[in-house]
Structure 1
């Protein structure tokens, strides 16, 4: 029978690209993590990872099994959360900050579901893309893409394997055609996002050991990620967005992933707080809840196809 802990080691190692990093996250030694992977491979009679002293990558069998391993862990987490919710009531005020696009289009219905399971809990939600000052503003935790620049903050992974994807609406592609290479992006209208006064116009991609980047341009720029998202769905141009933000649109056919052979930049989603003392029972439950929902979206990501 498959071991739950062994599956965790495999999934975290695949997401982080490092056995030692996965061991630190799971609070076990690298030797224990390595033994778990060997045990799992022996049970499956398949090589899941190719490891060397400097690199680690999934085998084709590992790529295929990763999807099922994530879904299995998500199912177990869902059951555990349901039991925890029925046994331990949580209450009080939880103050949360989230990015505009992810918060408005993805997180909102999840929070409705979370509060339905915990009716005594009150939520205060702040949406915005600028970096929240957790020491000054009235929030307990923040969901943010990327690692915090302030190393004194506590960051817990929520969707470590998330990446950016290049996509556009079918209407735009019907009028302008699909780019067939990274270089061809220079011929397209690219919708740009601005944060902290800086326009993110350098788009980076990776295919195996090959890397390509290109400075793109377009006729629209916004400091609100949700606005850029809406422009893309309306057919105004190409967009380079977090997979979590556009997964629903891709599944519904409102957006199409382009150049799927090229992986976009890693864009991990983290839960951030100022002090570990803020990691209360409601925070832990919310993190696990959002983590399981993100895992379901990541299982359908184009790099797993």
Structure 2
């Protein structure tokens, strides 16, 4: 090998990687912000340094030699490790900025997340937040989301990283008008005689399971004349006197406090759902995602 002091080996490694991944010297030069001639010179110097040909060149295309393929694979791992080390150090100093794209369920995004998201944005004014609310399961990578919030009892297996943020309890409620007309159920079994509003996104929307004060669990099959894929619509229907809603506490809490709804069966509990933040797997979290998750975790921790 030649004297390594004669070339910038790290720059040459980066040039080789760009050439291979982008498929041309011209594209590599544009990505690196240098001239086509400089990229070509770096590759030739690297080959001279190694004493081996890395690329077979023609007038229109190139291909890695056997030695070039082996060297490229090894050097890519080295460059990845260096980039990871740079990010790991930089993230401790970097101020979150840029675009943060968040996905959340419709009801949670409009009724719960909207309560504390303004404080988060005020704390990180350099961020541009893009909040997308819907009740379908999105592909974070394909749909370019940085983080997703999920309320569920069980997370499906995936390559995503999940961090639990809080517990979300369910509340059974109906309006005073409905209860005056149809009576107040005193046990879960009595729900079978009432007009119950079903949330179709639940795994078993017409089966409501309760645990009594004695620890005994019972499941009631409910019936009703309205079902919906959003609890916000069911809550509005319950406030209007249509029937009994079984929804997350954050959805009906305001109505319970002002008397528009009355909580039912308070001595019976239901298995709560867990709020998780999901994000793509990587060695290091970006500052903006870390800031969002830490802020959410602190917010819920302070509220017990």
Classify the TM-score, shorter chain. Answer: 0.5 to 0.7
Aligned to 2:71: none
Return the index of the structure with the highest Cα Rg: 2
SS at match of 1:151: coil
Unaligned residue ranges in structure 2 (runs of 5+): 1-92
For residue 171 of structure 1, give the secondary structure of its aligned residue in structure 2: helix
Structure 1 match to 2:272: 266
Give runs of aligned pairs for residues 8-87 of structure 1, distance below 5 A: none
Query: Which secondary structure does the structure 1 equivalent of 2:191 belong to?
Result: helix
After TM superposition, the structure 1 = structure 2 runs for residues 146-157 of structure 1, keeping only pairs within 5 Å, are 146=152, 147-157=154-164
**1:202 matched residue in structure 2:** 207
Cα deviation code 1:166-188 (max 9, x no counterpart): 11222322322211000010111
Q: Give the match's secondary structure for 1:268.
A: strand
How is 1:1-305 mapped onto 2 (pairs within 5 angstroms)?
89-146=95-152, 147-159=154-166, 161-195=167-201, 200-207=205-212, 208-277=214-283, 279-295=285-301, 299=304
Cα distance between partner residues in 1 of 2:217 and 2:224: 23
**Residues 235 and 245 of structure 2 are in contact (CA less than 8 Å); yes or no, is this contact kept in structure 1?**
yes
Contact 2:95 2:287 in 1 (8 A): no
Q: Which deviations, in whole Å up to 9, do the C-alpha atoms of 1:249-293 show, x marking residues without a partner?
A: 323333222111111122111111221457333223322333344
Q: Give 5+ residue unaligned stretches, structure 1.
A: 1-86, 300-305
Tell me the number of residue pairs that the alignment of Structure 1 and Structure 2 aligns: 210
- Take 2:193 and 2:160, find their aligned partners in 1: how far apart are those partners? 41
- For the residue of structure 2 that corresponds to 1:186, the secondary structure is helix
Are the aligned partners of 2:94 and 2:287 in contact in 1 as well (CA < 8 Å)? no
Q: Deviations over 1:150-174 (max 9, x none)?
A: 2322110011x32222112223223
Query: How large is the Cα RMSD of the aligned pairs?
Result: 2.3
* Change in 2 beyond 3 A, CA 1:252/1:88: farther
